[in-house]
Structure 1
Amino acid sequence: MTNLFVQIINAALYDPIARRYFVKNTFDGILTVIGILAGFWISGVKQPGIIILGCVGAAIAIAVAGLWGAYFTEKAERLKRFHDLEKELKHARVR
């Protein structure tokens, strides 16, 4: 588990795409947790277990959504670049 965590942190620090998504998703997560805490405070929930589990559940959901979204976005971008390059190579051969 620790090795996986170190790999994720290293990827987030050194890969520009991973760093961008890591920062974006961290910011989204912080705002979500602040919203959850505000909701618990307004509703008068005092049990720490409920508050912690609510925030952890939201963090897991945001992490999965962020990773999934980043994966499909980058996959689509790379596929588009590949098709553009393929098209350019076909035109270069015709000339």
Structure 2
Amino acid sequence: MLNNLQTNTTSALHNSIMEAGRKDCPPMLAPARVKETYATVSEGIRKKMDAEAEAVHIILIGIDYDIYSIVDACPNDKEMCKVNV
């Protein structure tokens, strides 16, 4: 058997749930999270992801940054040959 405090608490809980269901109240549950993909994130986040991937790539292949910068700055192989001569 419920005592008076439990009855009041149960009634208050029931009333608050019913009150939250009104049309003019915002939903009680947070909107579902959508999985972010490369295509759905902002341009700033994409640039950060690209920079991180490039940094990992440089570390893994072990190229000095000077050499990588020269190669990266050249739009084609002809320009790269001019820089190295």
TM-score norm. by structure 1 comes to 0.28
The structure whose residues are more often helix, as a share, is: 1
Could you say which structure has the greater relative contact order, defined with CA pairs below 8 angstroms and 6 or more residues apart? Answer: 1
Larger-gyration structure (1/2): 2
TM-score norm. by structure 2 comes to 0.31
